[in-house]
Chains A and B, each alone.
Chain A
């Protein structure tokens, strides 16, 4: 079908400051003007979007697809389906795979594979350092040429400030932003949960908030020194928000993202040693959660993401301190964010929420996505912000089931996902 008209929807396109009831036209895989679809003989698909939000296709810039190397957890194909079911039309996949994409050919393999099997746009992030070891720079220029949208050692963190400084300086030359998983190894040690009341009570090794904040501070200094964007991944502490707020007010090219679980849950959830509450960085205290919500409200934290981290059941069904970190999130992300940020805490409106999932990441990564401008690729997400639903991991498209949100009742979700004019998922 060449032409689609999405009728009577509430079009929200923050990039173009659109917020109105309107029809949206799609022709030849692109957003079109009404005049382009006048031909009455053309085969027109009509979608009734009355009562629904018509948003630019959502972007999640922090996803682990596990391929190559760990296809028992997730594949590019299954991860992309999970993204579509969650309302995401573009995802950025992290480089902690085997082999690590610290070379052009692994990036080419991911892109080829995605082009064949993925129903959404899959954009790879390359490694900053060879084999994510934090010791030698990966060929960042070649990675940029091969099409990475960012570089990161996610899951790891470059401890040597000099190496990080040179990486950022070099990335500036080739024009790719640097993303960083903020974890000071000497402060965090073997920590597995937030250092605080519950770690003290349960005798689990603590992961102090200062272990994140020390690296956030480092990144602020380097972003300033190198005059190049550094984006702090999955931030979790009140101190990180405070540091970021101050630096952004001064115009430093620093940004931060937030995952749903870090505002939906606190470290109290770990008390039964359920490994589906074990993630890195860990669930924090209520004080931190409150500060994160305020950071979202005032724009300090500008990007929403999932840190979708699939693990097989047998890998998670082990002793708490040896279990792998991480939970899946693509299929609960939008529901949790709408439910918590718009409905429950009323920290932002749905327009800002969509902005944080579209044009904010698109601008940072310089993506050709995240808008409904005429001529843009027709990636569109239809959202019912008031739809009540219950999370059921058995219905997930992801190959994994490691979610702590099974059974949660949420309000708001994507009901149809359109990529390049084609519906790839529908409730």
Chain B
């Protein structure tokens, strides 16, 4: 059992052990209480500088990291793609080195290219926290999903988790797969064959294209956003057909076990991957995920920020 943390960076869940994942979740438990206090602030990262460097647009993840850092008393600056020199032709490496020259201690990076956080982590002394890289990993999202499942169901091992939707292009799906498999869950990926290729079976999960067969067996259903912007290459015939075959409609929700958890990383397309009534219904823990995201990110910043030079 891990009792201390040794990593400067959090790049993904693939590289973490089950012990390390549990250690982050345990640490998040302590930070979750902070949010319920009257004074929602601890001095853990006082004097440290955190840069939220978002090369791809994001509101909720950036805000969550910002609030997490503020609650840890860090100084925070936000840089987005449009305000950075990347638009002037500066390379990612140079931009990051400039930030480091300003003595940034923690760099939270959201980037459209898979591997970009690892690329920077290799170059920089600062901690690099992956806030989503291309279709590769989104470790803090998966950690908050794991945290939420653990909180509601006490343990993850043995649970059957269905991840439904656009798996191929989803970093949330990959990080969830790595984390859930390590913690002993049974994982079934569900979606059209174009967005859930069979190759995923080699990651230790099951692949299904029949959502009605999976829903009655699932303890957790994690719905992924169907990305309109990625339809240019005809991955499926249209939203109507998607809803018909995979959407979590009111009718389909009747197939769910009574205690099944419905999760979604947001932002939700109401009426596409999930009906409004289901998103707001009894099974839904979607807003718990948002709250827990803050605690998990505080834990990650606290642990990695304590390692950075």
Cβ of A367: which chain B residues have Cβ within 8 Å of it?
none
In the complex, B8 has a CB within 8 A of chain A: no
A171-203 CB contacts (< 8 Å) to partner B: 189, 196-197, 200-203
Q: State whether A273 and B119 are in contact (beta carbons under 8 Å apart), knowing that A203-B137, A317-B93 are contacts in the complex.
A: yes
Q: State whether A322 and B174 are in contact (beta carbons under 8 Å apart), knowing that A272-B118, A317-B91 are contacts in the complex.
A: no
In the complex, A321 has a CB within 8 A of chain B: yes
Q: State whether A200 and B203 are in contact (beta carbons under 8 Å apart), knowing that A189-B233, A319-B116, A321-B113 are contacts in the complex.
A: yes
In the complex, A318 has a CB within 8 A of chain B: yes
Choice from A189, A197, A201, A203 contacting B134 with Cβ under 8 Å: A203
Task: Give Cα A46–Cα B158 distance, bound, in whole angstroms.
Answer: 78
Check if A273 sits within 8 Å of B197, measured CB to CB. no
Chain B CB count within 10 A is highest, among A196, A314, A318, for: A318
Task: Give Cα A273–Cα B121 distance, bound, in whole angstroms.
Answer: 12
* Distance from B4 Cβ to chain A, minimum over Cβ atoms (Å): 26
Check if A204 sits within 8 Å of B136, measured CB to CB. yes
Closest B residue by C-beta to A314: B91
Interface string of A299-328 (1 = CB under 8 A from B): 000000000000000100111111000000
Check if A319 sits within 8 Å of B197, measured CB to CB. no
Task: Give Cα A382–Cα B254 distance, bound, in whole angstroms.
Answer: 78
Task: Give Cα A25–Cα B278 distance, bound, in whole angstroms.
Answer: 88
Task: Give Cα A204–Cα B114 distance, bound, in whole angstroms.
Answer: 6
What number of A residues sit within 8 Å (CB to CB) of B? 17
Q: State whether A203 and B136 are in contact (beta carbons under 8 Å apart), knowing that A196-B199, A197-B202, A320-B113 are contacts in the complex.
A: yes
Chain A CB count within 10 A is highest, among B91, B115, B197, for: B115
In the complex, B182 has a CB within 8 A of chain A: no
Task: Give Cα A318–Cα B114 distance, bound, in whole angstroms.
Answer: 11
Check if A202 sits within 8 Å of B136, measured CB to CB. yes
Q: State whether A322 and B136 are in contact (beta carbons under 8 Å apart), knowing that A200-B200, A200-B203, A317-B91 are contacts in the complex.
A: no
Cβ of A203: which chain B residues have Cβ within 8 Å of it?
114, 133-137, 169, 171, 174
Task: Give Cα A204–Cα B171 distance, bound, in whole angstroms.
Answer: 11
Cβ of B48: which chain A residues have Cβ within 8 Å of it?
none
Cβ of A273: which chain B residues have Cβ within 8 Å of it?
114-115, 118-119
Cβ of B91: which chain A residues have Cβ within 8 Å of it?
314, 317-318
Choice from A189, A272, A314, A322 contacting B113 with Cβ under 8 Å: A322
Closest A residue by C-beta to B136: A203
Task: Give Cα A137–Cα B113 distance, bound, in whole angstroms.
Answer: 36
Task: Give Cα A108–Cα B169 distance, bound, in whole angstroms.
Answer: 48
Check if A200 sits within 8 Å of B114, measured CB to CB. no
* Distance from B41 Cβ to chain A, minimum over Cβ atoms (Å): 36
Task: Give Cα A251–Cα B30 distance, bound, in whole angstroms.
Answer: 74
Cβ of B135: which chain A residues have Cβ within 8 Å of it?
203-204
Cβ of A189: which chain B residues have Cβ within 8 Å of it?
233
Q: State whether A202 and B199 are in contact (beta carbons under 8 Å apart), knowing that A189-B233, A318-B91 are contacts in the complex.
A: no
Check if A201 sits within 8 Å of B233, measured CB to CB. no
A196-252 CB contacts (< 8 Å) to partner B: 196-197, 200-204
Check if A319 sits within 8 Å of B92, measured CB to CB. yes
In the complex, B252 has a CB within 8 A of chain A: no
Closest B residue by C-beta to A205: B135
* Distance from B170 Cβ to chain A, minimum over Cβ atoms (Å): 8
Task: Give Cα A201–Cα B12 distance, bound, in whole angstroms.
Answer: 12
Cβ of A319: which chain B residues have Cβ within 8 Å of it?
92, 111, 113, 115-116, 119
Cβ of B174: which chain A residues have Cβ within 8 Å of it?
201, 203
* Distance from A261 Cβ to chain B, minimum over Cβ atoms (Å): 20
Task: Give Cα A321–Cα B112 distance, bound, in whole angstroms.
Answer: 9
Chain B CB count within 10 A is highest, among A197, A314, A320, for: A320
Check if A320 sits within 8 Å of B93, measured CB to CB. no
B79-121 CB contacts (< 8 Å) to partner A: 91-93, 111, 113-116, 118-119
Choice from A201, A314, A317 contacting B203 with Cβ under 8 Å: A201
In the complex, B209 has a CB within 8 A of chain A: no
Interface string of B36-71 (1 = CB under 8 A from A): 000000000000000000000000000000000000
* Distance from B177 Cβ to chain A, minimum over Cβ atoms (Å): 9
Task: Give Cα A272–Cα B200 distance, bound, in whole angstroms.
Answer: 19
Task: Give Cα A120–Cα B136 distance, bound, in whole angstroms.
Answer: 45
In the complex, B14 has a CB within 8 A of chain A: yes
Task: Give Cα A396–Cα B174 distance, bound, in whole angstroms.
Answer: 40
Check if A320 sits within 8 Å of B115, measured CB to CB. yes
Choice from B14, B114, B203, B233 contacting A321 with Cβ under 8 Å: B114
B1-44 CB contacts (< 8 Å) to partner A: 14
Task: Give Cα A319–Cα B91 distance, bound, in whole angstroms.
Answer: 9
* Distance from B127 Cβ to chain A, minimum over Cβ atoms (Å): 18
Interface string of B122-147 (1 = CB under 8 A from A): 00000000000111110000000000
Task: Give Cα A272–Cα B118 distance, bound, in whole angstroms.
Answer: 8
* Distance from B106 Cβ to chain A, minimum over Cβ atoms (Å): 20
A366-424 CB contacts (< 8 Å) to partner B: none
Chain B CB count within 10 A is highest, among A197, A203, A317, for: A203
Closest B residue by C-beta to A192: B114
Check if A318 sits within 8 Å of B92, measured CB to CB. yes
Closest A residue by C-beta to B115: A273
Cβ of A200: which chain B residues have Cβ within 8 Å of it?
197, 199-200, 202-203
Check if B119 sits within 8 Å of A320, measured CB to CB. yes
* Distance from A76 Cβ to chain B, minimum over Cβ atoms (Å): 28
* Distance from B123 Cβ to chain A, minimum over Cβ atoms (Å): 9
Cβ of B200: which chain A residues have Cβ within 8 Å of it?
200
Choice from B114, B169, B202 contacting A202 with Cβ under 8 Å: B114
Closest A residue by C-beta to B232: A189
Task: Give Cα A189–Cα B233 distance, bound, in whole angstroms.
Answer: 9
Closest B residue by C-beta to A318: B91
Task: Give Cα A189–Cα B169 distance, bound, in whole angstroms.
Answer: 15
Cβ of A272: which chain B residues have Cβ within 8 Å of it?
118
Check if B14 sits within 8 Å of A201, measured CB to CB. yes
* Distance from B124 Cβ to chain A, minimum over Cβ atoms (Å): 13
* Distance from B133 Cβ to chain A, minimum over Cβ atoms (Å): 8
Task: Give Cα A317–Cα B92 distance, bound, in whole angstroms.
Answer: 9
Closest B residue by C-beta to A319: B113
A309-350 CB contacts (< 8 Å) to partner B: 314, 317-322
- 19 residue pairs of the A-B complex, CB under 8 angstroms, read A196-B199, A197-B199, A200-B197, A200-B200, A200-B202, A201-B14, A202-B114, A202-B136, A203-B134, A203-B169, A203-B171, A204-B134, A204-B135, A204-B136, A273-B115, A273-B118, A314-B91, A317-B93, A320-B114
Given contacts A197-B202, A201-B174, A272-B118, 5 further A-B contacts (CB under 8 A): A203-B134, A203-B137, A318-B93, A319-B113, A320-B119
Q: Closest 4 interchain pairs by CB?
A: A273-B115, A203-B135, A319-B113, A203-B136
